[in-house]
Amino acid sequence: MRRFELFPFLQYYQKRHQYHRRRKVTPSLAPRQDLLQCLLQDGIAIMENFIDRAEALRLGREVQHLWQNRANHPGMETLRKNGRDLILDIDRWLPETKVFFESDLVNGLALAYLSPEAVPLRKSSVLTDHANEDANINFYHFDHWERWPRAFLYLTDVTELNAPMYYLKGSHHWGLWRQSKEQDFFRYYEIRLGKETHPSLESRYTGCFLPPESSTLSRQLGFSEVVCTGQAGTLVVFDTYGLHRASPLQQGYRLAFSTTWRLPEVSFPLEQTTEQEATRC
Ligand SMILES: [Fe+2]
């Protein structure tokens, strides 16, 4: 039985209220209004052929080469989490990544959706190459009680066998159904600021919904599931405040660039978010 605690609830409520007052949707910043409307309405926008498939595959080979030769790059930060291998600050090692990370379209979309003040976090490549790994992110979940828009650029073709992300359209709106889990996130980060990343086994699953819970929510609230497949060069922009999940890799591997935006001056310093970002798909 969940115990109601008034003081943490009030703290959460106050911070959440302050945070969401700072969000400022600014359509004029979006170079593509159709994509912004998808993002606002569904929580996700997918654009095929953001870059040419052959160019995306070439970038993917460059990343693979970097990964295989990472021992020759002192200072390169890598991270393995939830079956994924990340190269952090990939833009430092591969300048051609600016086609994505410095794209006016991508950045404009994120800032239009969240706020002109939004800032991108560290820019990563994300490689999924271990088949059938269990992970907490394979449950439908949201990443935080803040809105963190995230963008992927696929560097490989992603079919249903290549660990596509699943997203529940419409689940990025606030509702009572998510309040207790948002409060759990608040507690989790407050505790995390103390010392530990995961203070308990339970907190590792903060924001997660069991399959019967997410299917019931979908039925009752009208969420519709989208499977984010697409060929190399596809752009996926989504709000991690909506319900999304990873899926186990069944064949081949999946490689993508990824970055996330947040509002500055939040409840904990931006530089502490890197590992957390990596724990979520
Ligand atoms: Fe996530």
Residue of 160, 162, 174, 155 whose CA lies nearest to 236? 155
Q: How far is the CA of 56 from the centre of ligand 1 (A)?
A: 24
pLDDT tens track for 68-108: 999 999 999 999 887 789 999 999 999 999 999 999 999 99
Which residues fall inside 5 Å of ion ligand 1, going by CB? 143, 280-281
In CATH terms, the fold of domain 26-279 is Jelly Rolls (2.60.120)
pLDDT tens track for 237-273: 999 999 999 999 999 999 999 999 999 865 444 444 4
Q: What is the pLDDT of residue 270?
A: 42
Q: Which residue has the tokens 């996130």?
A: 185
Measured N-to-C along each axis, helices 179-194 and 6-22 cross at an angle, to the nearest 10 degrees, of 100
Mean pLDDT, all residues of the chain: 88
Q: How far is the CA of 98 from the centre of ligand 1 (A)?
A: 24
Other Cβ atoms less than 10 A from the Cβ of 88: the count is: 19
Residue of 133, 162, 132, 170 whose CA lies nearest to 44? 170
| Domain locations in the chain as residue ranges | 26-279
Of the CA atoms within 13 Å of residue 26, those in its CB half-sphere come to 15
Q: What is the rounded CA–CA span in Å between residue 147 and residue 212?
A: 25
Are 192 and 269 spatial neighbours (Cβ–Cβ below 8 Å)? no
Q: How far is the CA of 83 from the centre of ligand 1 (A)?
A: 14
Q: What is the pLDDT of residue 16?
A: 86
Give the range among 36-45, 165-174, 192-201 with minimum mean pLDDT.
192-201
Which one is predicted more confidently, 133 or 19?
19
Query: Of all residues in the chain, what percent carry a pLDDT higher than 70?
Result: 86
Q: What is the pLDDT of residue 278?
A: 38
Helical (H) or strand (E) element with 167? strand 166-169
Q: What is the pLDDT of residue 3?
A: 58
pLDDT tens track for 47-58: 999 999 999 999
User: pTM for the full model?
Assistant: 0.89
Q: What is the pLDDT of residue 265?
A: 65
Q: How far is the CA of 276 from the centre of ligand 1 (A)?
A: 10
- Residues forming a β-bridge with 237: 45, 151
Q: What is the pLDDT of residue 253?
A: 95
Tell me if residue 226 falls in helix, strand or coil. strand
Are 223 and 42 spatial neighbours (Cβ–Cβ below 8 Å)? no
